[in-house]
């Protein structure tokens, strides 16, 4: 996979309120694949520029890129990363080392200096982050630690993120994701693993979908309707499409986990037939079911799909009809919770969860597993 990373960073005062921005583009089409930006407190231009590079390289790695072109308007960073200039300042060496370690993970990478006029996307993201950095912080928590220190790491999980040491209130209209799980199928009634099996809704599931559509309509105007490609989600999305008068867009990245050989079996049956494999799967998110997909792979896929949705529909309200694993993964990422949190959430069929993504503030989980609209139909 070939991508273009453009990154920038700056501070207002040098040192002053600082922030970075990075964007990952499809090298062939120019489509935006991911954006990263964050306020990093009081720091220098050079530190912010390196943080932007690190965030962009990390995003490219998450997307599975192997061939990377990096463009920046920082001559210093480009020359140092190309090996033509030495990294002399002690505070810069840990950042340069972190960037070099990320760069070494690609099959091929090239660094190019470009004028600021050609780096407008990353420059805009960096300025938005600096706006957030310049806001007065609420009097809670401790002061920000300078990001140039050896212990500091860039915030990459949230999109975008504030330094957690000093919270500032969001100042923009969020991109709101209304996450709707599909209605019940024969597998969900029987408590069977249902991954890529293309199941239809039961009659109860269709009624659940109708009620979920009515509830979503009550939550406010919706701009975009997206669905996983599987039949049970598309049938649920069709009910929403009728209610909202919107077309259904398909997002393959929001499909359910591939449970491989376990698909169609109950938990008890899997524990009898594959006891050792099940225990390894429960203990380690990098372990996949036989012929299936690990939760690490699911997380990477869902994060990429989330980034595409946020980039394409920023500032809008988007309904995403999906499955247990993708929805719980989005919630886990929003809360910056460990992978083990997936096993500690329960998500009802046709439930609704709401996450807000702010352009200048943190991600906010507004509600989770809302089933009030289902009444006696709740599973």
Residue 256 bears catalytic tag: yes
Quick check: 233 and 323 in contact, CB under 8 A?
yes
Tokens matching residue 38:
């964050």
Q: Which residues contact 279 (CB under 8 A, 6 or more apart)?
A: none
Tokens matching residue 376:
């006696």
Q: Can you tell me the distance from the alpha carbon of 61 to that of 300, in angstroms, rounded to the nearest whole number?
A: 10
CB atoms within 10 A of CB 33: 23
Q: Pick the catalytic residue: 256, 277, 293, 348?
A: 256
For residue 27, report the phi and psi dihedrals to the nearest 5 degrees: -65, -25
- Comparing C-alpha atoms, which of 308, 357, 316 is closest to residue 31? 308
DSSP 267-295: HHHHHHHSHHHHHHHHH-TTPPPTTS--H
Quick check: 33 and 62 in contact, CB under 8 A?
no
Tokens matching residue 320:
């995403």
Q: Pick the catalytic residue: 35, 49, 128, 182?
A: 182
Given CA atoms 366, 236, 210, 240 in this order, what sign does their dihedral have?
positive
For residue 144, report the phi and psi dihedrals to the nearest 5 degrees: -65, 140
Residue 296 bears catalytic tag: no
- Comparing C-alpha atoms, which of 105, 101, 112, 98 is closest to residue 148? 98
- Report CA-CA distances (Å) from 233 to 61, 205, 253, 376: 29, 11, 13, 21
* Residue with the two structure tokens 């600082």: 18
Q: Can you tell me the distance from the alpha carbon of 163 to that of 7, in angstroms, rounded to the nearest whole number?
A: 19
Quick check: 358 and 174 in contact, CB under 8 A?
yes
- Comparing C-alpha atoms, which of 162, 109, 166 is closest to residue 132? 162
Q: Can you tell me the distance from the alpha carbon of 51 to that of 266, in angstroms, rounded to the nearest whole number?
A: 46
Q: Which residues contact 317 (CB under 8 A, 6 or more apart)?
A: 175, 176, 178, 220, 221, 222, 223, 224
Q: Can you tell me the distance from the alpha carbon of 342 to that of 326, in angstroms, rounded to the nearest whole number?
A: 10
Catalytic annotation, residues: 182, 256
């Amino acid at each position: 996979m070939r991508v273009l990373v453009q990154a920038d960073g700056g501070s207002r005062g040098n040192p002053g309120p600082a922030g970075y921005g990075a964007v990952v583009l499809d090298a062939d089409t120019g489509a935006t694949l991911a954006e990263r930006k964050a306020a990093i407190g009081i720091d220098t231009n050079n530190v912010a520029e390196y943080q932007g590079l690190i965030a962009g390289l990390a995003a490219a790695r998450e997307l599975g890129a192997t061939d990377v072109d990096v463009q920046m308007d920082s001559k210093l960073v480009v020359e140092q990363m190309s090996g033509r200039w030495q990294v002399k300042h002690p505070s810069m060496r840990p950042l340069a080392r972190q960037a070099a370690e990320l760069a070494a993970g690609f099959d091929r990478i090239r660094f190019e200096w470009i004028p600021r006029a050609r780096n407008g996307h990353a420059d805009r993201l960096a300025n938005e982050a600096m706006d957030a950095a310049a806001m007065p912080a609420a009097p809670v928590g401790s002061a920000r630690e300078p990001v140039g220190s050896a212990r500091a790491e860039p915030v990459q999980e949230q999109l975008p993120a504030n330094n957690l040491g000093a919270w500032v209130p969001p100042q923009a209209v969020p991109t709101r994701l209304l996450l709707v799980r599909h209605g019940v199928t024969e597998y969900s009634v029987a408590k069977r693993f249902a991954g890529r099996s293309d199941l239809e809704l039961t009659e109860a599931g269709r009624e659940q979908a109708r009620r979920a559509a009515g509830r979503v309509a009550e939550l406010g105007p919706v701009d975009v309707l997206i669905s996983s490609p599987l039949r049970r989600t598309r049938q649920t999305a069709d009910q929403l499409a009728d209610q909202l008068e919107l077309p259904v867009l398909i997002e393959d990245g929001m499909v359910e986990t591939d449970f491989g050989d376990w698909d169609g079996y109950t938990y008890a049956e899997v524990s009898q037939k594959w006891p050792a494999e099940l225990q390894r799967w429960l203990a380690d998110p990098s372990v996949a079911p036989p012929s299936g997909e690990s939760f690490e792979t699911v997380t990477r896929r869902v994060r990429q799909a989330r980034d595409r949705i946020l980039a394409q529909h920023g500032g809008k309200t988007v309904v995403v009809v999906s499955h247990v694993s993708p929805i719980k993964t989005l919630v886990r990422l929003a809360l910056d919770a460990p992978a083990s949190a997936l096993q500690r959430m329960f998500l009802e069929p046709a439930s609704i969860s709401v996450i807000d993504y702010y352009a200048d503030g943190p991600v906010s989980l507004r509600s989770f597993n809302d089933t009030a609209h289902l009444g006696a139909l709740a599973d």
